[in-house]
Amino acid sequence: MENLIGLLVLVPLAGAGALLCGGRRLDRGGPWLGTLAAAVSFALGVVLFADMLGKGGEERTLDVTVFQWVPVGSFRADVGFHLDQLSMTFVLLITGVGSLIHLYSIGYMAHDERRRRFFGYLNLFLAAMLLLVLADNYLLLYVGWEGVGLASYLLIGFWQHKPSAATAAKKAFLVNRVGDMGMSIAIMLMFTTFGTFAFGPVLTAADRAGEGRLTAIALLLLLAACGKSAQVPLQSWLGDAMEGPTPVSALIHAATMVTAGVYLVTRSGAVFEGAPDAQTAVVTVGAVTLLFGAIVGCAKDDIKKALAGSTMSQIGYMILAAGLGPVGYVFAIMHLVTHGFFKAGLFLGAGSVMHGMNDEVDMRRYGGLRKYMPVTFVTFGLGYLAIIGFPGLSGFFSKDKIIEAAFAKGGTEGWILGGAALLGAAITAYYMTRVMIMTFFGEERWRPAPSPDEPSAEPAAGDRAGGMPHPHESPRTMTIPMIVLALGSVFAGGLFSVNDAFLKWLEPVTGHEEGNSPLGALTVTAATMAVLVLGVALAWAQYGRRPVPATAPPGSALTRAARRDLLQDDFNHVVLVRGGEHLTRSLVYLDHKLVDGVVNGTAASVGGLSGRMRRLQNGYVRSYAVSMFGGAAVLIAATLLMRAV
């Protein structure tokens, strides 16, 4: 079994290597080869899972050290894996959803001439993400962490000929690097505190490190999590990341990579539990982001950007739950898994709609599509019901638990967090209903496809450019993954909740405490239902009962701000981009005029050689002799000085 863990990472890595270096020969079979690598990896995951189920709850952990990576003095980083119930959950999610999305991409990317490379990058992503969740120390986790960042960079910028895609890719990488700074310093602080950064020793010895130190480490880890999981204040890259092909948005920017921050916080539980102030910071970030993302999601007309806002918001729920400590860990991960199903499904549905609509992304140009794309409509619809928390579907179970746990925090804090979570649920119901209505109901507001010169088009647009769209159902390779994910969206939450199965599965790793909610479980559920109905009704009143205008109305100040991601980009632009440009420009000027000048000047005046210097700079090397003479003088003086001393 131990060897299988390494293989789990190695198979997609080998796939990536073959696809990226294999040359044109692999152009035709490449997509299937990539999908096969993902599927093999999933199969290995299932074998390991079956093996794990055969053991008792406390003996399910597997540790393997493959080799010493960086041994320098007391600094020891190993390439070693740690497989327990928490990492197992991620392995199955990553390889399972990953395989489905590989399959979907075969159809979606069929017309792209660079699809071999696309599958290579997808395989690279799988390998890096698996490394991230399987690493047994923080430095190796960091390798996976940056590895998924690289894959994300390559895939967001996959259509590099579009300047907007290249810019979005760079932005994602840079914002993530700010988070990575936190990760780097956190690891250094662990090393100076504990002399190691392996999970086992750090987490067992955490309680002896003192609250101040733990708070520092925890806050640095939170910064890293904010970058990767697009949480306020490092959330600005996620909306732009939608420049990537839609399967990428589904896999990386919805189901898996962006949830890495939740994994990090949960995995480092012992550190956060010893640092209550840091936990407060975590829940604050979660609560703020869940509202921030939801508000942005309401204002976007681009279907992918609306879903991106929603992703941000849902991860906010998970971060909030993880920040609550043992009361919330299990529910954070449970919501993470169910969200993986329904959000990936929603994105794939959006991709299917775009595929049939000449790559149109503006929902104001959709409408009435349920007749033309029945499979997409039904699967998307089920995902919609799951995300808003319709009773019995996946999202209902997982989100309800988080709201309950938030109230259980107690005191004013509990009321604020619970209230935010409830409000978020209402807004979720509103914006998702809006997406649903604008896309599948109402009248047809289609327009002719953009001309091929317009660089915004996704690849398939070239064939059908110029005409009105002819919406049609997508091919089998695309609909099958959508159906499977829809099944997950419907049943996963329920299955997890039978006999508290998911709780019992994870508890040996994360621990669990029942919260004391000031409101009963039933009250919370009732309140959630009430806000759900409210949100849906409001959206229905606004978009269902009246025709949707094809161009967006000006809207209120809040709407306008939300359309611009609540002005965060404007802030970044003014402060960081402009400020940075001024800084570097003046430094370039100063380096030339000041540093160069002062050094040259000092050298000239000290040696009394300024006249000769100028001649030297004109290229007369015979002045070499003169400078030698000057040097000899300095030298004699120095020798005399030494004697004197």
Q: Which of residues 626-645 bind another protein (CB under 8 A)?
A: 627, 630-631, 634-635, 637-639, 641-643, 645
Distance in Å, CB of 170 to another protein, minimum: 5
- Select the residue interacting with another protein from 10, 36, 185, 538 (CB under 8 A): 185
Residue 111 Cα distances to 81, 159, 350, 398, 477, angstroms: 39, 13, 18, 39, 14
Under the binding rule (CB under 8 A), the answer on residue 580 touching another protein is yes
Distance in Å, CB of 131 to another protein, minimum: 9
Axis-axis angle for helices 163-194, 138-156 (nearest 10):
180
Distance in Å, CB of 146 to another protein, minimum: 5
Q: Which is nearer to another protein, 135 or 548 (CB)?
A: 135
The residues in 163-182 that bind another protein, with binding defined as CB under 8 A, are: 163, 165-167, 169-170, 173-174, 177-178, 180-181
Under the binding rule (CB under 8 A), the answer on residue 292 touching another protein is no
The residues in 35-74 that bind another protein, with binding defined as CB under 8 A, are: 67-74
Pick the piece of the chain touching another protein (CB under 8 A) from 194-202, 289-297, 412-420, 549-557.
Answer: 194-202
Distance in Å, CB of 588 to another protein, minimum: 4
Question: Distance between CA atoms of 450 and 220, rounded to whole angstroms?
Answer: 45
333: how many CB neighbours lie within 10 A of its CB? Answer: 29
Name the burial class of residue 553, with classes exposed (0-12), middle (13-18) and buried (19+) by CB atoms within 10 angstroms of its CB: exposed
Pick the piece of the chain touching another protein (CB under 8 A) from 196-204, 339-347, 348-356, 391-399.
Answer: 196-204
Phi, psi at 448, each rounded to 5°: -60, 155
Question: Distance between CA atoms of 274 and 264, rounded to whole angstroms?
Answer: 16
Helices (H), 229-373: 237-240, 246-250, 260-267, 269-273, 276-299, 303-323, 329-356
Under the binding rule (CB under 8 A), the answer on residue 25 touching another protein is no
| CA R_g for the chain | 28
Distance in Å, CB of 511 to another protein, minimum: 15
The residues in 214-243 that bind another protein, with binding defined as CB under 8 A, are: none
Question: Distance between CA atoms of 594 and 520, rounded to whole angstroms?
Answer: 70
Pick the piece of the chain touching another protein (CB under 8 A) from 37-45, 47-55, 149-157, 469-477.
Answer: 149-157
Secondary structure class of 125 (helix, strand, coil): helix
Q: Would you state the structure tokens that stand for residue 410, as one six-digit string?
A: 């107690």
Secondary structure class of 69 (helix, strand, coil): strand
Distance in Å, CB of 614 to another protein, minimum: 11
Yes or no: say if 335 and 402 are a contact pair by the CB < 8 Å rule.
yes
User: By rule CB under 8 A, what string of x and - marks binding of each residue 433-472 to another protein?
Assistant: ----------------------x-----------------
3-state helix, strand, coil in the chain (%, to 5): 75, 5, 20
Q: Which is nearer to another protein, 78 or 404 (CB)?
A: 78
The residues in 313-342 that bind another protein, with binding defined as CB under 8 A, are: none
Yes or no: say if 125 and 149 are a contact pair by the CB < 8 Å rule.
no
Distance in Å, CB of 191 to another protein, minimum: 5
Q: Which is nearer to another protein, 516 or 639 (CB)?
A: 639
Q: Which is nearer to another protein, 177 or 364 (CB)?
A: 177
Yes or no: say if 319 and 262 are a contact pair by the CB < 8 Å rule.
yes
Question: Distance between CA atoms of 438 and 384, rounded to whole angstroms?
Answer: 13
- Select the residue interacting with another protein from 50, 192, 549, 553 (CB under 8 A): 192
- Select the residue interacting with another protein from 60, 102, 213, 399 (CB under 8 A): 213
- Select the residue interacting with another protein from 195, 466, 520, 608 (CB under 8 A): 195
Question: Distance between CA atoms of 33 and 578, rounded to whole angstroms?
Answer: 45
Number of residues that bind another protein (CB under 8 A): 87
Phi, psi at 276, each rounded to 5°: -55, -35
Question: Distance between CA atoms of 573 and 557, rounded to whole angstroms?
Answer: 20
What is the b/e burial string over 484-494, where b = at least 16 CB atoms within 10 angstroms of the residue's CB? bbbebbbbbbe
What is the DSSP track for 207-243? GGS-HHHHHHHHHHHHHHHHHHTT-TTS-THHHHGGG
- Select the residue interacting with another protein from 78, 84, 112, 146 (CB under 8 A): 146
Give residue 584's Cα distance to chain centre: 30
Pick the piece of the chain touching another protein (CB under 8 A) from 161-169, 339-347, 367-375, 530-538.
Answer: 161-169
Under the binding rule (CB under 8 A), the answer on residue 398 touching another protein is no
Q: Which of 83, 119, 120, 121 is nearest to 7 (CA)?
A: 83
Distance in Å, CB of 460 to another protein, minimum: 19
- Select the residue interacting with another protein from 201, 326, 419, 511 (CB under 8 A): 201
Q: Which is nearer to another protein, 522 or 641 (CB)?
A: 641
Under the binding rule (CB under 8 A), the answer on residue 7 touching another protein is no
Q: Which is nearer to another protein, 188 or 558 (CB)?
A: 188
Secondary structure class of 66 (helix, strand, coil): strand
Phi, psi at 327, each rounded to 5°: -65, -30
Under the binding rule (CB under 8 A), the answer on residue 158 touching another protein is no
Q: Which is nearer to another protein, 71 or 448 (CB)?
A: 71
What is the DSSP track for 329-346? HHHHHHHHHHHHHHHHHH
- Select the residue interacting with another protein from 139, 241, 486, 532 (CB under 8 A): 139
Distance in Å, CB of 125 to another protein, minimum: 13
Distance in Å, CB of 135 to another protein, minimum: 11
Q: Which is nearer to another protein, 34 or 147 (CB)?
A: 147
User: By rule CB under 8 A, what string of x and - marks binding of each residue 587-626 to another protein?
Assistant: xx--x---xx-xx---x---x-----x--xx-x-x--x--
Under the binding rule (CB under 8 A), the answer on residue 125 touching another protein is no
Distance in Å, CB of 199 to another protein, minimum: 9
